[in-house]
Amino acid sequence: SYTTDTKSREENKNTLENLYSLSVDIMKIRRLKEWVLLQDVAYIKEIAGILQEMGADETTVASIIEQCPEAILHTPAEINSQKTLWQLVCQNEKQLIKLIEQFPESFFTTEYQQNQKANILFFQELGLKNNIIIRFLTSAPSIFYNPVEKNKNVIETLQRNYLNLGGSETNMKIWILKLLSQNPFILLNTSTAIEDNLEFLQKNDFTDQEVLQLLSKLKGFIFQLHSTTTQKSMLFSKNIFKCSDQELKQLVLKCPALLYYSVPVLEERLEGLLREGISIAQIRETPMVLELTTQIVQYRIRKLSALGYDIKSGNLESLNGTKKDFEVTYGKIQSKKERPIFNPVAPLHIED
């Protein structure tokens, strides 16, 4: 642990000299984490040396230290161990140094090395590609701090439930890998949360097949269900769409967002759609539109209106999907509008 009491301490002159020699912006460090400059021991030359051996130039070394000043407080042994660890998934040192420059804090968190290594090996055994594991290391490092047994337990609970609901072994493997790729933070949940949420769906008369369908569609949202909030959201949807329990189930299967968005979120999105002149009947027909924020819906409606497409008189399918999906739909409507009408029987005027 490092001393963070800055009042009675002076900056370490040796640390300052070594940082100046590397052209590091000291003012930046003072603003961000001045306490680093007060420590009695720092390994500036050694850490810079390790980074330079990996191919980092002076500018890169300075940039890394400015972004993550506490890097200089780690021993060379700790950093070499971390380097060996990340090399399990990196193609070469060039890729590794680029990652360290982009995500220095993830790399210089060395307290959980044993857990990190065990989890990397577990993910590799599971079939996750190294580039996905790298993405986890940089954007979701906290999942590596768990003991590997905890992560294994969550995955095994998911696998067991998937098979118990009637899913096949082959589909289960694909589903697990896709689920982890989309939302690695599911590993921060407990096995009990999974069991409770699946039980909640079954108590609400969703069949095993329907729960399995939801499990695939919900991605990581299965963990974000809270029985009280979800119950209120379902009741709200039932009243708005004036539908029976069976009809509500069909709407939820089309749009699982009706389960995990709270009533205030659903209200805001519905109001946004109604302000645009869209009817409840249209929304009921295409409930997936509620997965989009009001701002996204407004933007897409404006773009389609500019092409002369009237969203009020058609269905809402053209609004749906990811940004990429919408761009494809928009492109099709645009090209259809721009295409000249060709009459195959009209005479051709050809000059001699």
CB-CB contact of 269 with 293 (8 Å):
yes
Query: Residue by residue, what is the 3-state secondary structure of the chain?
Result: CCCCCCCCCCCCHHHHHHHHHCCCCHHHHHHHHHHHHHCCCCCHHHHHHHHHHCCCCHHHHHHHHHHCHHHHHCCHHHHHHHHHHHCCCCCCHHHHHHHHHHCHHHHCCCCCHHHHHHHHHHHHHHCCCHHHHHHHHHHCHHHHCCCHHHHHHHHHHHHHHHHHCCCCHHHHHHHHHHHHHHCHHHHHCCHHHHHHHHHHHHHCCCCHHHHHHHHHHCHHHHHHCCHHHHHHHHHHHHHHHCCCHHHHHHHHHHCCHHHHCCHHHHHHHHHHHHHCCCCHHHHHHCHHHHHCCHHHHHHHHHHHHHCCCCCCCCCCHHHCCCHHHHHHHHHHHHHHHHCCCCCCCCCCCCCC
Indicate the domain borders of the chain. 10-110, 226-338
Residue that is written with structure tokens 């001045």 in the block: 34
Number of residues that make up the chain: 352
122-139 pLDDT tens trace: 999 999 999 999 999 999
pLDDT of residue 320: 86
284-338 pLDDT tens trace: 999 999 999 999 999 999 998 888 888 887 778 888 888 898 898 888 888 877 6
pLDDT of residue 352: 39
pLDDT of residue 346: 52
User: From CA 336, how far away is CA 152, in angstroms rounded?
Assistant: 51
pLDDT of residue 344: 54
User: From CA 287, how far away is CA 279, in angstroms rounded?
Assistant: 12
User: From CA 76, how far away is CA 130, in angstroms rounded?
Assistant: 26
Calculate Rg over the CA atoms of the chain. Answer: 28
- Tell me which residues of the chain have a pLDDT lower than 50: 1, 6-7, 350-352
CA distances from 307 to 1, 118, 277, 333, 337 (A): 62, 55, 18, 8, 7
Q: Which fold has domain 226-338?
A: Transcription termination factor 3, mitochondrial (1.25.70)
Question: Which tokens sit at 308?
Answer: 């002369």
